[in-house]
Amino acid sequence: MDYEALLDLATELGYQLAMNGAETFRIEESIVRILKSYGARAEAFAIPNCLTVSIRTPDGNALTRMRRIGYHGNNLDGVEKLSNLSRRICLEKPEPALIERWLEETKKQRLEFSWTVRLLGSFLGAGGFSILFGGTWRDALCAGVCGLFMGAIDTILDRFHANPFFRTILEAFLMAVPAYAMGAYGLADNSDAVVIGALMLLVPGLLFTNAMRDIIFGDTNSGTNRIVQVFLIAAAIALGTGAAWNLAETLWGTPLAALAGGYPYFFQAAACFIACAGFSILFNIHGMGTLLCCLGGVLSWSVYFFALRLGSADLTAYFLASVFAAAYSEIMARIRKFPAISYLVVSIFPLIPGASVYYTMNYIVRQETENVYGQGLYTVAVAGIIAVAILMVSTIARWGSLKKT
């Protein structure tokens, strides 16, 4: 066996997983399982920007490879296909030349939506969440237009590999100013609903979910790194929308902030489905997975909706819904033999407190100190509850898998 070539290919597969947005544990386990299936003692260490792989061959030679993980997007279709390839390699144990051919074929088979379809995803995601957060149909259309605008800006900045922190500030600002202008000129009924709906496109849902799953599997360095990135992006969103609020207040007066709300269940469920469909496109999920992810989002939000109607406290409803989203994702992953992250990131998205993040920023801009503390603590509490629910369900699922093996 040519262990030099095998190590190169296993490292390349792990690198491709990382560049497509896979969790740290998936990257490391895929590499180690492939190398161990060929009789090598293997170690893999991955963090968000670096991958190191070492093996000791049966004849005692020690070999090491390291790859720098640079700027990348989120392609969950790629994660699914590469994960399936790693399982196939472990089962069939082909020669390195055949592995190389399979890897090249897999990279070519990854499906990616065109930029026009991704813009549609931005429109649907922003518009759907605008209604879910209490906006009118006019607000949803305005939010969709802002989503289109932000998606176009993101496509342009993507080509320049712009710094995520500063691009988020810029995108939040350039999205919020038109939203407030639409409210000022009567095109939108409520500027807040427009901004919040479009703002969900910037919320780092996959980053947050991967951070939680990294921590579950003991990858504390990666998990902490990702959590810091989440806080930085949240701060960037606050800075961008805060600057836009100040500019809008100077130009047109205080933006309108009277949410409609009170929509019937089925109306809200339809809006949730539309929003989740948009985010499935943005996360590059294809085929039956798209429908299942959207269904997971609607069902998770429904658990929250009916828990409130049955008298549960708000935070309790968030916990129950998050537990359902995590459990649904683990079940779908085992039924379909696909990574759970694809289902989890969309299923959990309707529960992410995007509106609470926005209002916390809003109170900071208005210098309403008491409201800042109250809204800020509520935002942290909701995020913490979602994290605990994901940790609990994923830990139980992981324990069950280890027990079987």
DSSP 338: S
Q: Nearest to residue 351, comparing CAs of 383, 394, 327, 380?
A: 383
Residue 326: exposure state from Cβ atoms within 10 A (0-12, 13-18, ≥19): buried
How much of the chain is in helix, strand and coil states, percent to nearest 5? 75, 5, 20
Q: What angle do CA 283, 161, 342 make, to 5 degrees?
A: 15
**Pairwise CA distance, residues 358 & 245, whole Å:** 11
Q: Which of 3-12, 35-44, 88-97, 335-344 has the lowest mean pLDDT?
A: 335-344
pLDDT for 401 equals 61
Show the tokens assigned to 394: 């994923």
Q: What is the DSSP letter of 50?
A: E
What is the spatial distance between Cα 274 and Cα 55, in angstroms, rounded to a whole number? 47
pLDDT at site 357:
77
The pLDDT, as a whole number, for residue 259 is: 57
Per-residue tokens: 194: 């427009």
71 pLDDT more than 90? no
Is residue 391 pLDDT above 70, yes or no?
Answer: yes
Cα(58)–Cα(330) distance, integer angstroms: 36
d(CA 334, CA 379): 32
Q: Quick one: which of 180, 189, 154 has its CA closest to 241?
A: 180
Higher pLDDT, 103 or 259: 103
Mean pLDDT of 342-350: 91
What average pLDDT does the segment 311-319 reach? 93
DSSP for 279-318, please give it: HHHHTT--THHHHHHHHHHHHHHHHHHHHHHTT--HHHHH
Query: Nearest CA to 36 among 64, 14, 16, 57?
Result: 57
Please report, as a single letter, which amino acid is at residue 120: L
Given a cut of 80, whether residue 205 has pLDDT beyond it is no
Q: What is the pLDDT of residues 75-129, one digit of tens each?
A: 999 999 999 999 999 999 999 999 999 999 999 999 899 999 999 999 999 999 9
Q: 213, 394 in Cβ contact below 8 A?
A: yes
Please count the residues of the chain. 405
Burial 334-343 (b: 16+ CB within 10 A, else e): eeeebbbbbb
Q: C-alpha 135: how far from its chain's center?
A: 24
For the chain, what percent of residues have pLDDT higher than 70?
97
Q: Rounded mean pLDDT of 236-240?
A: 87
Sorted by sequence, the CB contacts under 8 Å of residue 145 that are 6+ apart come out as: 123, 178, 182
Per the structure block, which two tokens stand in for 374? 């109250």
Mean pLDDT of 3-21: 94
Distance between CA atoms of 36 and 150, rounded to whole angstroms? 45
The count of other CB atoms within 10 Å of the CB of residue 311 is 8
Q: How far apart are CA 265 and CA 269, in angstroms?
A: 6
Rounded mean pLDDT, 247-268: 78
Residue 292 has pLDDT above 90, yes or no: yes
pLDDT tens for 146-194 read 999 999 998 888 888 788 889 899 999 999 999 999 999 989 988 888 9
- What pLDDT digit, counting tens, does each position of 124-137 carry? 999 999 998 888 89
Beta bridge partners of 56: 41, 62
- Return the higher-pLDDT residue of 219 and 47: 47
Left if phi > 0, otherwise alpha if psi is -120 to 50, otherwise beta: which for 14?
A: alpha
Q: Show the tokens assigned to 401.
A: 């898998």
β-partners of residue 53 are 44, 65
Which tokens sit at 117? 């379809």
Distance CA 143, CA 113 (A): 22
pLDDT of residue 60 exceeding 60, the answer is: yes
